[in-house]
Every structure is written in C-alpha cells, then in structure tokens.
Structure 1
Amino acid sequence: MNDASGILDEALERLHTTGPERLGRLTNHAPMAVEALVRNGRASTVHRWLDGYAHKLEDLPAPSRPITADGWREALGDPARSTDWTRFFGRELDEHPWREVLAEWWPRLLPGIAGGSTHPVIRTGHAVRTLLSSEDGGTATTTGPRLAELAHALGYWAARSLPLPPLTPLAAAPTAAAALGAVPPIAEQDGPLRARLDRLTAFPAWGTAPDPDTARERLVELVTAATHRYATHGHGEPIMLVHTATAPNAVLRTLPALPRELWAPSLAAAWTAAAAVTAAYTPPEPAAYTPTVLTAEEVFERAAAHGDDHTIKFTDTALDVGDPLALAAATRSIELNPPLFQ
C-alpha cells in the first residue's frame, strides 16, 4: 500500500469522530472507500473525496453503558449501543493482540453477517487488510488509527448483528455461479434489506468445504462469480447488488488473519450473505453489458473520479478478481450508480 505520507491514517483519525451510520440506517462508507482509494494508488484524492462526502457524516452516537466481557450478549444486535461496542473493542484491542480479538469474536459475529446490509463485515475486511498491510510493510508505528478502525468495524458489526431466519436447503449446485443463479428471489421485492431478509425461505446447497484450503478456494470462486454476475444482473438494484461480491470478498481478505479452523464457517457465512442479497434484489432477467478495453488502473481511475462509495469498493473487489469480465462489471457499476461528484 502506497501510504508513506500517512494519508490513510489521517483520514481514519478524521473519520473516527463520526458515527457508523446516518439517519438511523444509512451506512457511513467513508472508512472503506478511503482505504480502497489509498490501496489503489489514489491517496492524493482522499481528502478531497472526504470533503465531498462530509455532508453524509454524523457525529458519533452518545454512549449508553459499558459492555463487559461477561454481559455482551444482551447488547448484541442493538444498534443503539454502537458506541458502547466500539469502546468495548477499543479496550479489548488495547489489552490483547488484534488477531486474538478477531479470532475470539469472528465466530460470534458470523451468524449476523447480513446485519447492516453486510456493511459491517465489509468494513471489517478493509480494516483487517490495512492491518495486514501494516505488518507486511513494517509500519508498526502507524497502526494506532488502524487498530481503532478495527474497533469501529467490529463494534458496528456487533451492534447491527442480524441472524437470518431458518432456511430450507435446496438441491446442491455444482459451482458458485450456478448456486447464485439458482437462488430463488423473495416475494415482493420492496422495502429495506432488513425487511426483505424476513422473506427468505430457501437457498441452494453450496458453501461447504471439507478442509480450510478448499474453503478458501470456494470463497475465491464465490467472489469471482458474484463479481461477474453483476455485469449482467447489477441493473436489478445497482447499489445493493455490489454487496454480493464485496461482502464475501471482505471475508476472503480476513482469512489470513484467522485460525484455519474458522475458514470453513467463514465460507458458509459468506455464501449466506451473498445469497441473501441476491434473493432480495436480483432482477427477473439478465441484461447485456459492454466489454471494456480499459486496464485495471484505468478502470479504478474512473471509479475514483466517479466518486460513489459503493462503486469504488466494488471496483476494488473487481480488481482483486482481475479478469476482463470483472473489469467489465466494474465499468457497469460506474454506469449504473449515481456519482458523488456531479
């Protein structure tokens, strides 16, 4: 990550005075978007981008009462306790190595992966990628804001944790692409995602693995299939359908920081998240898309200039996949989503 100037740390410190949401339900995407901008060589645009996004930020919610290691269950899934949760994880990360905290809480949070429209796990994936990059680059002195970002991400996830209703397994699908294609749409595709999740009934059997390495391979397959599918199906709901790819990719990015025994359950949770968003927003018919001749760097440059936070994050995921169809899907997201900068 090209972050010699500390722009990412500056941006995170600036954002840690703001809450995880606005208007009680809309996610603050700025920490994720600025990480993607810096990661992809656009650090010089970060503060201008934040200035343009500032009208979408609110102050941190007021704290209520401290969450304890023994009494956390009653606060799980309570969005009014988001600041309490962030402070709890801040204390945990002050007292324990961040990988230990992540390993302890990851299996507790996975059942609620769809909460907050999957944004909390996505924010966690960006935070973990930043910490892993810090270790790889030997920038240990700059990890203070990045540890704080992990506390904010995990706190948001805990506050918005939302398990899915019981689901009936359908016939097994041979591939991730086939599984996504076989997800039955929910009835009455209207209302926010939380309301739509209550209408889920069944998913194709997929997302299991006999060992950690296979789990990782299938997670890569899922991210690839979801990214590709956006090219033909993103028009169904251009903003929400990016999460079919960005949520499982956040899980994939987190695997290197997790014990290997958590990789298979991570795949299962990522599959449920991708399938849930697919069921909630998939259109009845695919649409044509135009292949792109742009390079990966040119595609991301266009996404950064476009400025939409979902588009930036989806393009970041598409670059991880890296093939021509993924780049075409990214250009499709630039076409479909409204720009931040008019």
Structure 2
Amino acid sequence: MDTTGTLDEALDRIHLSGPERHGWLSNHAPMAVEALVRHGQARSVHRWVDHYRDKLEEMPPPTAPIAAADWQSALGDPRRIADWALYFEREVIERPWREVLAEWWPRLLPGIAGGATHPVIRVGHAVRTLLSGPRTDPRTVELAHALGYWAARHAPLPPLGRLGPASSAAVALDLVPAVPDQSGGIEARLERLTAFPQWPAPDDPVDSASGPVVPVSAAEAGRTRLIELVAAATHRYATHGHGEPVMLVHAATAPNAVLRTLPALPRGLWAPSLSAAWAASAAVTAAYTPATRAALPAMTNTSPEEVFERAAAHGDDHTIKFTDTALDVGDGLALTAAVRSIELNVPFL
C-alpha cells in the first residue's frame, strides 16, 4: 500500500494524457509507476515521469458519448478512445468498481490481445491497487481509463485450430508454432496465427466445467493453472527473451494481469479468464519466439529487492513491469529471467 500519496500524484499527472502516442504506441506510465511504488521505489516516481513525459500525448478529443444500448458498435474502435474513457469514468462514479469490472470483463476478454495486450495489463495494475489500498479518485479513474483503452482496442484473435494436448504450461508454450512470417508489427503477426496446443488438458477440471454454475473445483483449477502459466512464461524469457526482448515480456505480464484481477471477479469468471490468458500468452509467443533457444543463464543470487532496484535504476518500462511479475513468481529462475530482461532491454534512465 502506498502511504506517501506518490501514486495518486503520479496518476493525476498521467491522466492528463491519453493511452497512446503516434496512434498506436501504448502509454506505459501508469503501469510502471504502480510497480515502482509497490516495490518501495516511490522516491523515484516523479523523476521517472519527468523523463517519460516526452512519450505522452494529450487525450484525443471525444467524438460522441457511448450509450449503454449501443456499446457494441463502438467496441474495438480506437477513434473512440476518449469516448470510452469518459464512459467508464461515469460508470465507476455511479457504481461500485467491482460491479463495473464484473460486467465488462467477459465482454472484453475475447479481445485480450488488442493493443498488444497492454490494456489488460493496465487493468491488472489498476485492480491490484484498488484491492490493496483505499479507493481514491485517481485510482478509480485509472481503472476507468484502462477499461476504456481495452474497449477501444478490443481485437479478437482469428479462428484457431487445436493442436494436441500439452501436459503443462511450459510444454504448451514450447509447442506453440511460431508465426512463419514474422515481419510487420504485432497486429499483422497475430492475423497469421493458425492453431495452439490444447492446454489445459481435456480432463482438467478447468476445461470440463459446463453449465451456468461453475464448480468450485473448476474455479480453483483455473487459478492454479494461471499461476502455472505466469511462472512458465516468466521462466521461458530467460532462454527465449532474446527473440524480441520488449515484446516477449507480454507473454508473462498479460496472464499475470489476469491473475491479479481474479480476486475482484466472481469465481464463475475464473475459468474463462484462464482461457483468455492462455490465448494472449500463446499469441505473443507465436509472434516473437526466436528460432533458437539460448543457454540458461547462471542463476542469480541477488535478492528480489535488489533485482527490482536494478530494474528501477535501468528505467525501461517493460523491464520494470516484467521484473514486477518475476517477483510475483518469486523463485530463482524468475529472478534470473528478470536480470536477463535488464541485460537485454535498452536502459531508459
């Protein structure tokens, strides 16, 4: 919990800006500053935002209000980013934020890969803040802007076939076929996806739930498998992150955003949340996985606190967020992967 007021101050500064610049590059500031404060680096936040402000653009002007009766027509329209932000600002003022989240989560999940998964990651950081501290205006506005960004960038993946079942998340990620043509940006690459391994297996409780009532076992299985997926994707970065050091962090940070959101959601949404998180992680893996696996780096003996201090000093937003996820996983290989991200990505500060 932030007791300094720094997070709210930083969010107020950031909310003067839109969620993107140059029409498609994401604003990572709210996610990075939340992670910095979370891990005891509040003193560096305003300096970091000062450096980042050249990457911020004003929120574009609104075009027309989003109406509850015809929101589908505006879903996935990036020209409506400001309209969506204003819509969700009204929603979280008039209703409890958990209620708004529970209503919109299943609507947005099919488009989890939109915006290169940045919108769902931003939602995960916002929800973590609201779950762990007081509800303040900057924190609820942050959730509103995150949900609005997701709605504007909502983009379902193409229809996908199912490959054979995989015994674990790590095996499933290894079996994800790379997009043959890895030219162009992530949107072009995701359009070329064809099929993913089947994970979890058909006999897993999370995959066998049916009907309007989801058994407790299926919900808990969904959470357990999601923890497994986040760990597997984080570990995999240690040997595959060189394929695309920035983009491959999202194979871990996107499912971790979903994991962070589960406690705020009805348990009936946990199993479908796993399915969406797996699709996002597999999609990023397919789009950017390298042709060759690197040797496993020497395991770090640096403490989690020291690893995050290194990430904060490095300053790169993706590195900060990936290290934040690695600390959630918490084991030696995850910390080694975090150190690898510090080595691979270009320093920002």
Which TM-score band applies after superposition, normalised by the shorter structure?
over 0.9
Q: Equivalents in 1 of 2:190, 2:77: separation in Å?
A: 17
- Post-superposition offset of 1:293: 1.2
Aligned residue for 1:180?
Answer: 173
Aligned residue for 1:238?
Answer: 245
Q: Equivalents in 1 of 2:307, 2:69: separation in Å?
A: 48
1:283 maps to which of 276, 280, 290: 290
Task: Name the SS of the counterpart of 1:165 in structure 2.
Answer: coil
Any unmatched runs of 5+ in structure 1? none
Aligned residue for 1:199?
Answer: 192
Q: Equivalents in 2 of 1:193, 1:61: separation in Å?
A: 23
Any unmatched runs of 5+ in structure 2? 201-205, 210-217
Counterpart check, 1:312 vs 2:305: no
Aligned residue for 1:268?
Answer: 275
Q: Equivalents in 1 of 2:18, 2:122: separation in Å?
A: 13
TM-score of the superposed pair, with normalisation by structure 2:
0.95
- Post-superposition offset of 1:290: 2.7
Q: Equivalents in 1 of 2:55, 2:91: separation in Å?
A: 29
TM-score of the superposed pair, with normalisation by structure 1:
0.97
Give aligned-pair identity as a percent: 70
- Post-superposition offset of 1:190: 1.2
Q: Which runs of 4+ in 1 moved over 6 A?
A: none
Q: Equivalents in 2 of 1:13, 1:69: separation in Å?
A: 27
2:332 maps to which of 324, 327, 339: 324
Q: Equivalents in 2 of 1:87, 1:71: separation in Å?
A: 15
CA displacement 1:20-68 (0-9 Å, x = unmatched)? 0000010000000000000000001000000111110000111100001
Q: Equivalents in 1 of 2:81, 2:195: separation in Å?
A: 31
Q: How many residues align?
A: 334
Amino acid at match of 1:321: V
2:222 maps to which of 208, 211, 215: 215
Task: Name the SS of the counterpart of 1:203 in structure 2.
Answer: strand
CA displacement 1:213-251 (0-9 Å, x = unmatched)? 000000000000000000000000000000000000000
Q: Equivalents in 1 of 2:298, 2:20: separation in Å?
A: 35
Q: Equivalents in 1 of 2:167, 2:192: separation in Å?
A: 25
Aligned residue for 2:203?
Answer: none
- Where in structure 2 are the equivalents of 1:293-308 lying within 5 Å? 293-308=301-316
- Post-superposition offset of 1:195: 0.5
1:147 maps to which of 140, 145, 148: 140
RMSD in angstroms over aligned alpha carbons?
0.7
Amino acid at match of 1:199: R
Task: Name the SS of the counterpart of 1:48 in structure 2.
Answer: helix
Aligned residue for 2:156?
Answer: 163
